[in-house]
Amino acid sequence: MTNQVFTVALIPGDGIGVDVSEATMAVVEAARQKIGGFEIRTETLLAGAGYFAEHGVDVAPGVEEAAGEADAIFLGAIGLPAIRHEDGTEISPHLRLRDRFQLYAGVRPIKAYPNITQRLADPRAADIDMVIIRESTEGLFYSAAVHNRSIVIGDNEVRDTLRITRATTEKLHDFAFRLAAKRKARGGRGLVTCVDKANVFTSMAFFRKIFDERAAAFPDIEKRYNYVDAQALEFVRQPWNFDVLVMENIFGDILSDLAGGLVGGMGMACSGEFGDEHALFQPAHGSAPDIMGQDKANPLAAILSGALMLDYLAERSGTRHAADAAQAIDDAVAAGFTANRLRPMEFGGDMGTAAVTNEVIAILQGN
Ligand code: IPM
Ligand code: MG
């Protein structure tokens, strides 16, 4: 039997993006060796704020084309607060990649693991297991993806447009309902919550209207609504009562950090960004330049994003091996926390990037 070959465009980027990308590829390789049946060919691509500072452009020549040709894109983290465009914004070629490849469904799972610092006193916080679907190409980020979309009126006024289109929103809500159905088949609640601000904005009422239209095709999935301000409150009061939540871009950006905090911190915040033809995987945290290269970063958000990537590669190819490798990584992380073998510094533990990575690999290898 021949091995399935997958190509991955690897963009380590800036700061700890480099550290956690390396950790992820080591774990992915260990999982691949354990399961077999597929190969990963990685092409490392240069992009980011550091690259911008040196070359005046945020990606090396050919990077976007190469990313488009790969089966999947993996991104460490991009951005350095000290390096900015003239308008004051940070260097974010990632936003352009989302736009270019129409990665509309930003999937951000939030799951509690044992032995991580509890942020909420209520013991039910141990049951937190939800997924934020953040629309990632339009909403208030529509203007940000491509710089000249902002309307700048001299030095007196700037307008950024919040854009909701029917075409993207239909696909987004379908994605959310399909995910809820998939989770329900594995014991999930079968609930999708539409998070919006339909009480105030016409664009948000439109977002909710399309949610209702698409929900009709999923009679087995319960639908609910929450205004975004109320959702922030509910995330603190009872996050264990949510399953899949679907929302506009900036709402998802903000609430996914809040939700990451509920289960420990951004070092657990994995993500996958899906379009119809392409997908990009990244930890949702930033580049944390203050701790870069010091073996302090928690690589688990990136490692869990690597598992999401393997799962996607399996599904895309119609083969099983990479999905088994993804499951092996998820199981190793869960087992590691349960046995208190994973103690990232982020949560006051004694384990740096390399120690956490090596421990996940050891568990994968059955040690
Ligand atoms: C995220 C990040 C990015 C975003 C930044 C780094 C451009 O915060 O993935 O959530 O705003 O989308
Ligand atoms: Mg963010």
**How far is the C-alpha of 295 from the C-alpha of 22, rounded, in Å?**
12
| Helix orientation angle between 300-317 and 321-338, rounded to the nearest 10 degrees | 160
Q: pLDDT tens-digit profile of 233-245? A: 999 999 999 999 9
Domains of the chain: 1-106+269-367 (3.40.718.10), 118-263 (3.40.718.10)
Alpha helices in the chain (DSSP H): 16-35, 49-55, 63-69, 93-100, 142-145, 166-185, 202-215, 228-237, 249-262, 300-317, 321-338, 353-364
Angle formed at CA 289 by CA 283 and CA 292, multiple of 5 degrees: 80
Q: Which of 122, 127, 212, 229 is catalytic?
A: 229
Q: Is 24 in the pocket of ligand 1 (CB under 6 A)?
A: no
197 among known catalytic residues: yes
Q: Could you write out the DSSP letters of every residue in 114-131?
A: TTS--SSSSGGGGG-EEE
Candidate of 138, 141, 253 to mutate for ligand 1, largest count of ligand atoms within 8 Å of Cβ: 253
225 among known catalytic residues: no
Point out the least confidently predicted range of 2-6, 91-95, 278-282. 2-6
- Identify which of 81, 136, 4, 56 has the alpha carbon closest to the alpha carbon of residue 287: 81
- Identify which of 55, 42, 46, 43 has the alpha carbon closest to the alpha carbon of residue 14: 46
Q: What is the pLDDT of residue 2?
A: 67
Q: What is the pLDDT of residue 1?
A: 56
What is the value of pTM for the model shown? Answer: 0.97
**Average pLDDT, stretch 321-338?**
98
